[in-house]
Every structure is written in structure tokens, then in C-alpha cells.
Structure 1
């Protein structure tokens, strides 16, 4: 009976764990003059992402205090996502330019957008 209770507890804990990785398919929208324009669809798998547009390269995802998306066609573009946004269906993100004049390019936001989960 002890083993059954232990097995049940471990099984229950496994399903209640929160994921800290981006997984799934999202619509990629960029804000332009207080309205959002859909640019493409994007699929996240663990540490890489792929756009539906076949000409876009695979990008890489770095997990830390904030999630960084890198390796777009425009190599100076970096997208950051606050860690607390992962669990939501609509994820706010910020765009940064690596060629920025500021000392730390992540301190200067050049644009923003949203990722909306496709179910």
C-alpha cells in the first residue's frame, strides 16, 4: 500500500509541473501604430524555433531570466520574452537591435509584439 501511495504521488506531481520552455505553434504579430499585424506563424520546439515561411532560418532559444530568440534573417534582431509570460496563451515580446548605440542592447526596446497560441 505504501508503494501504491508513493507511485500515485509521483504520478500526480509529474502532471502538475509547470513547463519553463516554449513549446507549440503561435501566430507572430508585430505592433505598428497601436495595431497588430500578423507576420507569420512560428513553431517552438525545446531550444529552436521555425517560421512557416520556408525562407526563414531556424532560430535558437536561450533560456535564462528572460527568454531570448535569435538567428532571424536580420541577424541584429533579438526578441526577449519575460519568463512569466510562458504560461499564457498570448505572450508579449520585445524586440532589440544588437547594433544599438546603447551599452547593453537589451536595455533599448526597438519594437514589440505578441505571440498568440494556435490551438
Structure 2
């Protein structure tokens, strides 16, 4: 739905502005995470929406899905290099919220330390 598919800002906004996307990336910054852990950390997201968002991020190359051959099967999600490159954007949003909106850090904000190591 980019206004201009050749504009890098439009294309990036197309990817990251989907509901829950940046929060998923924020939570995946902690490392490998299972579906149930993501569902618990994102209060209000439905399992269907979570599944669709993860699949879309996987198709964009932002999230990697790993299935382990165990019984029962274990599936974990992790950020790819492309996904980790979004962490400075999230860090910038956190800093903006603190400075201009008077908000404190979230209870679980793994991005601050991770974004510094990516930059």
C-alpha cells in the first residue's frame, strides 16, 4: 500500500506500520522466543493475528522461524539481521516517548541495550 513503491520511507512504513509489528520486533530483540511467550507479552493480540504478523515478517525476511524435530514439535522465532536493523528505529521511538511524551521505559524493554550493539 505504499504511496510510492520506489520511496524507501514508504516501503519501510509499509512493513513496520502494521499493527503489532514493532512490538513483535521489540519482544524478539531478547532472542529466540516461542509463540506462547509472544502471545503472553503482547496483551490483547489474538493467536490468529500473531500468526499472521509472524508469517508476514517471515516473508519480509525480518523474522526467522525454526522448527525443532521434537515431540511435541517446538517452534521458535528470532530476528534476522534485517530484523535487528529495525532496533534503532524502535530505540528512537522509545527516546522520543521519554523526551516528548513524558513516558518512562516499558517494564520489559530489551531494545535499548540491543539497539546500541547494532548501531
Q: TM-score range by the shorter chain?
A: under 0.3
Between Structure 1 and Structure 2, whose CA radius of gyration is higher?
A: 1
Higher relative contact order (CA 8 A, sep 6+): 2
